[in-house]
Structure 1
Amino acid sequence: MAIAYEKVPFDHGQSFRLLRWSDNVRDVQMCLPGGKVQPLVGAGEQWHFHPEVELTLVTHGRGRRFVGDHLAAFDAPDLVLIGSNLPHCWSELQDSSGYAVQFSIDSQQPLWQLHELSSLNHLLERAQRGLRLSGPMVDQIADSMQAMPQASMVQRLARFVDILASLAAAPPGSFEELSTTQFGLGEQDHHLGAISQAVQAILKHLHEPIGLDDLLAITHMSKSTFCRQFKRHTGRSFATFIKEVRINHAQRLLADTDRPITQIAMACGYHNLSHFNRQFREQCCATPREYRRSIGSDRQ
C-alpha cells in the first residue's frame, strides 16, 4: 500500500529532525549532530501527511509540487512551509537535492512552551494551506539549513532558532498561500491509503488513458465512496485532478522542448488534439501555441 500517514520519529526531547537528499526523495538521509547520517526511505513522492510542520528546501532540480489542492511545476530554489496534517507530495523530482526540517508544535514540546515563539502562531495557522516563500529570506534560511548537517547539537538548535526567527521577521508579501482550502485529516483516516494509491497511479500513467473504473479496481472502493473521498483528500474531483496534472505536464513540455504540439498532447494522455486544445485553453486561458509563444518561444 502507498504511504499515507507518515510517522515522524523523534528522539526523546528532540525539537526537530533534519533530512536531506541528493538525487530523489525516496533515498533520504536523516542528519544527526556532528555530521553523522542515518539512511531512510523517504515518503516525499507519495501522497501523505503528518502532524509535524515541515519546511522543505529544493536546492537543485525541478518537478511538480502538490500541497492540498495546489498543483504547480517549479524550479529550484524552492522553499515551502507545510502545516500540520496537510497532504502533500512531490512528483518528477529526479536529479535533485534538498533539505527538509520537520518539527512538532505540540504544546508538550519544551521549545514551544516559550512565550517568545508565540509570534509564529499566525504564520503556522497560515501554513495549514501551505506557504511558498520568496525574497531575501530564502537565501538566509537556505544558508542555515545547509550548515546544519555538520553542526554540533547546540549549533543545530541555534540554526533552527535562526530559521524560526527568519520566518517570523519575513514581510507578509514573502509568503504565497498554496492550497485554497484546509484539510482536517488525522492518523485514523481509513481512506487515505487508497486515495494515495489512486494519486500515484494517475501520476504514473499520465501518457495513457486512465478512468474511474481503473481507479476503482486499484482502490477496491465503490464509485460513490471513491468520488467522495478523492475530493475530500485532494480538494477536487478525480476528473479535474487528472486534467490539471496533464495540462500542467503539457505546460512544462511546451516550455522545455521543441516537440510538436500533437506529440505533446499524446505524451499527456490526449489522443484527440481538439479535446487537448479545449482543456488547455480552459485551464491556461490560451491555446498551447499561444502559451508557447507567450513564454518566449516560437516553437510550433
Structure 2
Amino acid sequence: MRAEFTRVHAPEERSWLCRLLSQPTFNFSWHFHPEFELILITRGTGTRMIGTSVENYGPGDLALIGSDVPHAYASSAGTTEQEAIVVQFRREFLGSDFFGAPEFADVGRMLDVSSAAAATVFEADASTIERCQSLQALSPSEQTLALLSLLVELAGRTQSRKLDNSGLMLGLSPDARERVNAVCEYLQERFTGSIRLTEVAEVAHMSEAAFSRFFRRSLGRTMTQYVMELRVARASQLLGDSALSISDIAFHCGYGNLSNFNRCFRALKGRSPRQYRRALAQIREQIVY
C-alpha cells in the first residue's frame, strides 16, 4: 500500500464533492490530493495524522486540511462504527480569483494558512454540526451557497488551532512516499507492542542508519518520537473514554515502565496522566451541568 495521489471525482452537477463516509472502521491510508478537505467526525474515535501532526479524533472534530497535505485517519481498535462528513473542493471551484475578492479575502487567507500549516482544527458546536449534516439534502446551488456560508463563518472564528507542519517534506518522490506509507502503516498496526528499528528498516528496505536519516528527513522527527506520539495519543483517549487504571493504560499503550509512561505523557501533554484525566472529568462536569 502506497501513499498516493487520490483523484477526487465530483458529481456532474457540482464542482465539488460532499459525502457521508460511514463504515465499521477507518483503516490507515496515507494519501493526498489537490483539493482542500473539510472533514467532520460525527461518530467514532481514533487517531488522525495530518502532515506531521498526530492527534486523537472523536465526534465533533472538525479539520480543514490543506491542498496536497498528506493525511490519514485510523480508528481505535475494537470500534465498530465510524462516520464522517467529508467535503472536498479546489481553491478555484468558484473561479480562479473568487477568494481574492475583498468580500471573501478572509476565506482565502484561511485556505492559505491551512495549506501552509497542514490544517486548521475547529471545535464544532451543535450549529456547525447541523449545517454540515444538512448539506447533502440541499439542491446543488443551495448546497454551494451553504458551503460558502460555512467557510465564511469558519474564517471569522477567533478560536481555531493550526497544526504544525514543520519538517514535513511535501515534495517526496513516489518511491519515498511509498516507503513512508509502508512504515507508517506498519507502526500504526504495532505501536502498542515492542518496536525494533531493525524490523522497521526492513519494511523500508533500508539499512538502520539510512532509514533513521530518511525518516527524520521525511517526517520531521525520529521514529522514536513518532511512536511516542502514537502511544500518548492512544493513552489520552483511554484516559477519557475508559475506567482503566493508569498503569493498565500504560501497559495497553506499549509502556512496560510506568515512570517512563508518565515522563513521555508529560513531555507531550504538559501534565501527568492523572492530571489530564482529572481535567477531562472537570470539563465533562461543566458540560453536563
Please tell me the TM-score bracket, short chain as reference: 0.7 to 0.9
In the alignment, structure 1 residue 102 sits paired with structure 2 residue 102:
no
CA distance change for structure 1 residues 60 and 12 in 2, over 3 Å: closer, same or farther?
closer
CA distance change for structure 1 residues 149 and 61 in 2, over 3 Å: closer, same or farther?
same
Aligned residue type for 2:151: L
Q: Say whether the 8 Å CA contact 2:52–2:168 is kept in structure 1.
A: no
1:82 pairs, out of 45, 57, 65, with 65
Aligned residue type for 2:233: N
Q: Say whether the 8 Å CA contact 2:40–2:62 is kept in structure 1.
A: yes
In 2: Cα distance, 1:286 partner to 1:142 partner: 31
Aligned residue type for 2:249: I
**How many angstroms does 1:264 deviate by?**
2.0
In structure 1, what is the equivalent of residue 110 of structure 2?
123
1:132 pairs, out of 109, 121, 140, with 121
2:149 pairs, out of 137, 147, 162, with 162
CA distance change for structure 1 residues 272 and 25 in 2, over 3 Å: closer, same or farther?
closer
**How many angstroms does 1:223 deviate by?**
3.2
Q: Say whether the 8 Å CA contact 2:166–2:220 is kept in structure 1.
A: yes
Which whole-Å deviations, capped at 9, do the CAs of 1:65-105 have from their partners, x for residues lacking one?
A: 22222222233111111111222222226422221111112
Task: State the TM-score, normalizing by the size of structure 2.
Answer: 0.81
In structure 1, what is the equivalent of residue 96 of structure 2?
112
In structure 2, what is the equivalent of residue 69 of structure 1?
52
Q: Structure 2: state its 5+ residue gaps.
A: 283-289
Task: State the TM-score, normalizing by the size of structure 1.
Answer: 0.78
CA distance change for structure 1 residues 20 and 187 in 2, over 3 Å: closer, same or farther?
farther
CA distance change for structure 1 residues 81 and 110 in 2, over 3 Å: closer, same or farther?
closer
2:136 pairs, out of 122, 146, 149, with 149
In the alignment, structure 1 residue 214 sits paired with structure 2 residue 199:
yes
Q: Say whether the 8 Å CA contact 2:11–2:17 is kept in structure 1.
A: no
CA distance change for structure 1 residues 25 and 260 in 2, over 3 Å: closer, same or farther?
closer
In structure 2, what is the equivalent of residue 236 of structure 1?
221
In 2: Cα distance, 1:279 partner to 1:181 partner: 21
RMSD: 2.8
The equivalences for 1:1-300 within 5 A come to 1-10=1-10, 14-24=14-24, 26=26, 45-92=28-75, 94=79, 95-106=81-92, 109=93, 111-114=95-98, 115=101, 116-128=103-115, 129=117, 130-134=119-123, 138-168=125-155, 170-171=156-157, 173-181=158-166, 183=168, 185-186=170-171, 188-296=173-281
**How many angstroms does 1:237 deviate by?**
1.3
Identity across the alignment (%)? 27
Residue aligned with 2:211, SS: helix
CA distance change for structure 1 residues 291 and 184 in 2, over 3 Å: closer, same or farther?
closer
Ranges of 4+ aligned residues in structure 1 off by more than 6 Å: none
Aligned residue type for 2:68: N
The count of residues paired between Structure 1 and Structure 2 equals: 274
CA distance change for structure 1 residues 221 and 52 in 2, over 3 Å: closer, same or farther?
farther
**How many angstroms does 1:175 deviate by?**
1.8
In 1: Cα distance, 2:279 partner to 2:128 partner: 33
**How many angstroms does 1:245 deviate by?**
1.1
Aligned residue type for 1:199: C
CA distance change for structure 1 residues 54 and 187 in 2, over 3 Å: closer, same or farther?
farther
CA distance change for structure 1 residues 258 and 216 in 2, over 3 Å: closer, same or farther?
same
CA distance change for structure 1 residues 227 and 50 in 2, over 3 Å: closer, same or farther?
farther
Aligned residue type for 1:72: E
